[in-house]
Amino acid sequence: MSQYNEKYRKLVIEILTEGFLTESRNGEQLIIPSYSFTIDDMENDHTLLFRKMYYKGVLGEFLTLIDSEQLTNVSQFEANGCNYWSEWSGPNGELNLDYYNMLHPQLEDLIDSIKTDPYSRRHVISLWNHDNVQNGSLSLPCCWHNLTFSVINTTLHLTWTQRSVDTMVGLPSDVYLAYLFMDHIAKETNLKVGSCMFSLSNCHVYASHIENAYKLVTDRTIEDFDNPLKFQLKA
């Protein structure tokens, strides 16, 4: 079993056995307050063997977020093969996301700072905009909101911070997205992809996902890869 597979499985088991059953805006959920794990080799261990992933969609999301064209409409995600952002778009597909708005003023500066001062402790991208969250202008406030990079020798490492984690649907995609950011920045700065620590708050499994969560941790093997479990997307 891969390191990622093992650590993901342990997180799901902890939520199922230790989680509190609470109400949320999306219905009942099992939740634990926080969890963290590190994948030591993101280059070779950022996928799950017993969970089929929609890699094309996550790659399309990443390409849309780093594109120089201002992100304003869900059609831009869809043009890159990412078809799940319509859940949060307006009636005409309009979107307002700090995933894009806050990312772009920082991404190129981050790459430049890694090139010029690789051992700095200020390689941070912060996406949480208090004013935008409070005034309700966003289609969806950022779930992953802080990326802190460190360079050791010739290797790039990342701490990925989330305020909310949909463990069954969102987290596997977020791990792949973290890898894509690491890979992009490593190529731009001529570094190797190293480890990523995931610092996670409010890790939850929705009540409608609990049955499949038990199946995932008790029954799934590599032979099940082409028969993915079905989950209902939660807005």
Helix axes 3-18, 170-189, angle to 10 degrees: 140
DSSP-assigned beta bridge partners for residue 192: 155
What angle is formed at CA 225 by the lines to CA 158 and CA 19, rounded to 5 degrees? 60
What span, in angstroms and rounded, lies between the C-alpha atoms of 81 and 224?
A: 25
pLDDT tens sequence for the chain (235 residues): 588 888 999 999 999 999 999 998 888 999 999 999 999 999 999 887 677 778 999 999 999 999 999 999 999 999 999 999 999 999 999 999 999 999 999 999 999 999 999 999 999 999 999 999 999 999 999 999 999 999 999 999 999 999 999 999 999 999 999 999 999 999 999 999 999 999 999 999 999 999 989 988 887 776 666 666 665 545 4
End-to-end CA distance of the chain: 32
Going 197 to 17 to 54 to 232, the CA torsion angle's sign is negative
Identify the pLDDT of residue 235: 41
61 closest CA partner among 180, 187, 232: 180
The answer to whether the beta carbons of residues 203 and 165 sit under 8 Å apart is yes
Q: DSSP secondary structure string, 172-216? A: HHHHHHHHHHHHHHHHHHT-EEEEEEEEEEEEEEEGGGHHHHHHH
Domains of the chain: 3-51+97-224 (3.30.572.10)
Identify the pLDDT of residue 24: 85
Helices and strands: H and E segment counts in the chain: 8, 7
143 catalytic, yes or no? yes
| DSSP label of 85 | G
Options 142, 143, 196, 203, the catalytic residue:
143
